[in-house]
Amino acid sequence: MITEQPPPIRKILVDAPPTVAPGIAPPAGGHAATSGAAHHRRGEAGPERMTLQGLSVFYGENEAVKQVSLSIRLGEVLALIGPSGCGKTTLLRTLNRLTELTAGAQRGGTILLDGTDVDALEVTALRRRVAMVFQQPNPFPMSIFDNVAYALREQSRKRPGRSVLAPLVEDALRRAGLWDEVKDKLDAPALRLSGGQQQRLCIARAIATRPEVLLMDEPCSALDPRSTAVIEQLIGELRSDLAIVIVTHNMQQARRVGDKVAFMYLGDLVEYGPAEQIFDAPQAQRTRDYVRGVFG
């Protein structure tokens, strides 16, 4: 009797502490090799917006993020990848001090925004400059117009009227790729919009105050493929005015939208570099195993 043997179990080795693998310079006069769909870029990145120096985050005695150092630049999309529970979202939420809302959370290391320690900034002002879009669309239970105007009113000393806010709301909705779809129903409830439209409305609300950095925590995970494609195109358009950091579990999405990619595992930054390097020529064994689907 012939018995079918189970497939071999492949394991990732974690006995040695990881180090950030060095980047690979593209060959002179050319670009790093790519496979699959072309990965489009929009020129050189701009100045450094945020700098992480030895960033660690603890929940009690558990170190969720371990001594992470990297740069976030204007004109770049940084994609954070890695399996669930590896510290991606914790790192993202720490950039505008949302982690502080979790009981027992503590932070070590330094986060600089345009050279200023974020701890020296008033937290509301910080979150205007480093805006956040969450995994699930979360429009407020008010009109489309008032959702976007809310952020603008909150930053004003005087409560501006609709005539003052109207061009600013229109600008934010245009930048979020939503204006043509909602311009004739700005007073309609935002909750009547589709899921993809609601997420773009949340992006419009986040960018209305002209932040320097936009944080996105799996912004497409609750959306259908068509809406996902619209959001990804929007990310590509917004990168010219912003530094963007996105957490995603979708390897194809990270490759499509990411200029730089940071692979995290068990709180460690294992590898950080251009998207082409991470996906086509990763330097760390753990990165190779992850992007090739050995574990996830």
Pairing of strands 77-81, 260-265: parallel
Q: What CA–CA distance (Å, rounded) separates 198 from 205?
A: 10
pTM for the full predicted model: 0.84
Is residue 25 situated within a structural domain? no
Is residue 231 situated within a structural domain? yes
pLDDT in tens, 195-245: 999 999 999 999 999 999 999 999 999 899 999 999 999 999 999 999 999
pLDDT in tens, 13-25: 444 455 555 544 4
The set of residues, in sequence order, having a beta carbon less than 8 Å from that of 273 and lying 6+ positions away, is 21, 22, 23, 24, 260, 261, 283
Number of Cβ within a 10 Å radius of residue 120:
9
Whether 12 shows a pLDDT value over 90: the answer reads no
**Which residue segment(s) compose the domain that 96 sits in?**
48-140+216-291
Is residue 128 situated within a structural domain? yes
pLDDT in tens, 130-148: 999 999 999 999 999 999 9
Is residue 35 situated within a structural domain? no
Is residue 78 situated within a structural domain? yes
Q: What is the CATH number of the domain that holds 272?
A: 3.40.50.300
End-to-end alpha-carbon separation of the chain, Å? 36
Is residue 114 situated within a structural domain? yes
Whether 10 shows a pLDDT value over 50: the answer reads no
Domain total of the chain: 1
Is residue 91 situated within a structural domain? yes
Is residue 85 situated within a structural domain? yes
pLDDT band at 35 (very low <50, low <70, confident <90, very high): very low
Q: What is the mean pLDDT of residues 279-289?
A: 95
